[in-house]
């Protein structure tokens, strides 16, 4: 057994609903780790006394937390992060599709997967749900790399059979067949989960959406991820492509792609019927704030969506998002919420990046919090990682005041330790 000692943050409820009191902070706490899982959490002195034989790692004032969970990311877009000046449809055509074409080469896919996981872990992200590309090799590379690192990750083959360039289009049948083969190869193996992944309605024919809806009906325990109502121009395009649809969500609903295990990225410009239906089926949303400001998509209505009872996770959406850091992503979520005049408390931001994302991805019984029996995917956060943050934190009069400068200004320098399944990675 190993005892990690430091400040500890964990949750006993949902701070979006219950406020900051749902969070628990221990100024001198400990997490006991055994066989890759959390065995106990509590006051440091009490755990030391209860486990005198445990190996002790004293992290001082560093903050021990569940690792961050990125609810929506495109690992193949790692190398095109921060591509200038376009809005969604031009951005996809100018930067995204040419970049994704390169994943036809399995060695390139393996190289980028390795780079991506290095970046994610160095930023304290221990689980994520990624889009791959249309190429099965991009999915194999992703899962092989995650498996070698012992990580709990989700992802799937991005399906497109129209409005994409040569080399990036499949058909309804090949999307079904290749997704099904990848699902049976990877889903439930070690800590991996396959996610059925139509990119979004504009790049799938009704036949392809129907085929993927049928696949999901055969594997209802899998997640399904896609994009929904990210930009106004995109919504107009969808209306033109699906004139019979009541709204954007209906282009998924009509083909069996609306359900409790659905994770819908962005969801900024929703109509009232869409919110009602998402809530009725118990679907989840992925909020991607650095992407939404970077691509100029709009301001997600966090207060409205959580008040409506929707599960919401936090996500980088890199390379549409401009950072791999979930700290930077929390900062952007705070700023977007400020512009909507509903500021998020640090406890709420931290929850969104950990347990909120875990709940959105339905992995919250395994990861996203610190509690006995949960998998020991943990991070140690230095709350004084730069001179500027340090001089601000030292003036703090509460734990939340000490934490907030790291949320707003922290980056990978703040991630002092990362444990995956109880094993220290860095």
β-pair partners for 264:
226, 285
Nearest approach, Cβ of residue 227 and ligand GUN (Å): 4
H/E segment holding residue 134: none
Q: Least separation, in Å, of the C-beta of 297 and ligand GUN?
A: 8
Spatial distance between the Cα atoms of 234 and 109, rounded to a whole number of angstroms: 29
Q: Which of residues 95, 103, 200, 334 is near ligand GUN by CB under 6 A?
A: 200
Q: How far apart are CA 45 and CA 15, in angstroms?
A: 28
**Using CB atoms within 10 A of its CB, is residue 148 exposed (0-12), middle (13-18) or buried (19+)?**
exposed
For residues 171 and 293, which CB has a smaller minimum distance to ligand GUN in the complex? 293
CA atoms within 13 A of residue 293's CA, in its CB half-sphere: 15
**If contact means CB under 5 to 8 A according to the sort of partner, which of ligand GUN, Zn ion, none does residue 200 touch?**
ligand GUN
From Zn ion, ligand GUN, none, interface partner of 96 (C-beta below 5 to 8 A by class):
ligand GUN
Tell me which residue of 414, 387, 388, 383 sits closest to 401, measured CA to CA: 383
Q: How far is the CB of 170 from ligand GUN (least distance, A)?
A: 15
CA pseudo-torsion sign 420, 150, 74, 353: negative
Report in angstroms how near the CB of residue 89 gets to ligand GUN at its nearest. 9
- Does 230 bind ligand GUN (CB under 6 A)? Our answer is yes
The C-alpha atoms of residue 310 and residue 304 are separated, in whole angstroms, by 9
Q: How far is the CB of 25 from Zn ion (least distance, A)?
A: 33
Rounded-to-integer distance, Cα 33 and Cα 1, Å: 6
Cα dihedral 408, 337, 263, 248 sign: negative
199 binds, among Zn ion, ligand GUN, none (CB under 5 to 8 A by kind): ligand GUN
Contact between 96 and ligand GUN by CB under 6 A: the answer reads yes
- Tell the smallest beta-carbon distance from residue 201 to Zn ion (Å): 14
Minimal distance in Å, beta carbon 264 to ligand GUN? 11
The two three-digit tokens of residue 99, written as one number: 């970049």
Q: Does 290 bind ligand GUN (CB under 6 A)?
A: no
Separation of alpha carbons 286 and 373, rounded Å: 26
Residue with smaller CB distance to Zn ion, 62 or 158: 158
Would you say 316 or 385 has its CB closer to ligand GUN? 316
Query: How far apart are CB 272 and ligand GUN at their closest, in Å?
Result: 23
Q: Does residue 269 touch ligand GUN according to CB under 6 A? A: no
Q: Is residue 359 part of the contact set for ligand GUN (CB under 6 A)?
A: no
CA 21 to chain centre: 24
**Quick check: bond before 319 cis, omega within 30?**
yes
Nearest residue to ligand GUN, by Cβ distance, number only: 320
| % helix, strand, coil for the chain, step of 5 | 45, 25, 35
Chain-centroid distance of CA 89 in Å reads 23
Segment interacting with ligand GUN, rule: CB under 6 A, options 5-13, 88-96, 104-112, 358-366: 88-96
Least separation, in Å, of the C-beta of 267 and ligand GUN? 12
- Residue 122, token pair as written in the block: 């160095």
CB 226 to ligand GUN: min, Å:
8
Partner from ligand GUN, Zn ion, none binding residue 274, C-beta < 5-8 Å depending on class: none
Q: Give the count of residues interacting with ligand GUN (CB under 6 A).
A: 12
Decide whether 11 or 264 has the Cβ nearer to ligand GUN.
264
* Contact yes or no for 309/17 (Cβ under 8 A): no
Report the partner that residue 135 touches, choosing among Zn ion, ligand GUN, none (CB closer than 5 to 8 A by kind). none
Among 253, 274, 317, 375, binds ligand GUN (CB under 6 A): 317
Residues found near Zn ion in the complex (CB under 5 A): 265, 317
| Interaction partner, residue 284 (ligand GUN, Zn ion, none; CB < 5-8 Å by kind) | none
State which of residues 51, 123, 135, 199 lies at the interface with ligand GUN (CB under 6 A): 199
Torsions phi, psi for 374 (to 5 deg): -80, 155
Of 265 and 410, which has the nearer Cβ to Zn ion?
Answer: 265
DSSP 35: T
Which residue, 48, 56, 104, is CA-closest to 76? 104
Cα–Cα distance between 214 and 380 in angstroms, integer? Answer: 43
Smallest gap from Cβ 320 to ligand GUN, in A, equals 3
Residue 291 in contact with ligand GUN, rule: CB under 6 A: yes
Q: Does 155 bind ligand GUN (CB under 6 A)?
A: no
Cβ-count burial of 206 within 10 angstroms (0-12 exposed, 13-18 middle, 19+ buried)? middle
The residue ranges that bind ligand GUN (CB under 6 A) are 74, 88, 92, 96, 199-200, 227, 230, 291, 295, 317, 320
């Amino acid at each position: 057994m190993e005892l990690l000692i430091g400040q500890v943050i964990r949750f006993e409820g949902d701070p979006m609903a219950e406020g900051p009191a749902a969070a628990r902070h221990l100024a001198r706490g400990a997490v006991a780790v055994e066989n890759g899982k959390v065995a106990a959490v509590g006051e440091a002195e009490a755990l030391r006394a209860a486990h005198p034989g445990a190996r002790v790692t004293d992290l001082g004032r560093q903050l021990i937390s569940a690792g961050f969970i990125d609810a929506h990311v495109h690992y193949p877009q790692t190398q095109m992060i921060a591509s200038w000046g376009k809005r969604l449809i031009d951005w996809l055509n100018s930067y995204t599709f040419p970049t994704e074409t390169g994943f036809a080469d399995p060695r390139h896919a393996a190289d980028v997967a390795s780079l991506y996981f290095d970046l994610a872990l160095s930023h304290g992200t221990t689980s994520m749900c990624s889009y791959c590309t249309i190429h099965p090799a991009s999915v194999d590379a992703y899962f092989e790399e995650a498996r070698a690192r012992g990580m709990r990750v989700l992802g799937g083959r991005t399906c497109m059979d129209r409005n994409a360039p040569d080399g990036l289009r499949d058909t309804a049948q090949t999307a079904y067949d290749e997704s099904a083969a990848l699902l049976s190869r990877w889903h439930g193996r070690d800590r991996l989960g396959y996610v059925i992944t139509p990119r979004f309605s504009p790049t799938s024919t009704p036949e392809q959406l129907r085929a993927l809806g049928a696949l999901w009906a055969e594997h209802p325990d899998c997640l399904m991820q896609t994009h929904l109502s990210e930009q106004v121009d995109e919504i107009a395009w969808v209306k033109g492509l699906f004139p019979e649809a009541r709204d954007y969500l209906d282009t998924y609903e009509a083909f069996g792609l609306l359900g409790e295990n659905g994770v819908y990225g962005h969801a900024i410009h929703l109509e009232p019927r869409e919110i009602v239906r998402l809530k009725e089926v118990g679907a989840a949303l992925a909020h991607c704030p650095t992407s939404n400001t970077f691509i100029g998509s709009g301001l997600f209505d966090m207060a409205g969506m959580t008040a409506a009872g929707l599960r919401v996770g936090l996500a980088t959406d890199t390379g549409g998002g401009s950072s791999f850091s979930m700290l930077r992503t929390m900062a952007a979520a705070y700023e977007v919420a400020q512009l909507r005049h509903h500021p998020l408390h640090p406890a709420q931001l931290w929850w969104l990046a950990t347990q909120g994302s875990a709940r959105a991805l339905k992995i919250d019984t395994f990861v996203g919090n610190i509690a006995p029996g949960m998998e020991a995917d943990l991070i140690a956060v230095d709350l004084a990682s730069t001179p500027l943050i340090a001089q601000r934190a030292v003036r703090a009069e509460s734990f939340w005041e000490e934490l907030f400068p790291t949320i707003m200004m922290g980056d990978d320098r703040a991630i002092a330790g990362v444990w995956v399944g109880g094993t220290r990675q860095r």
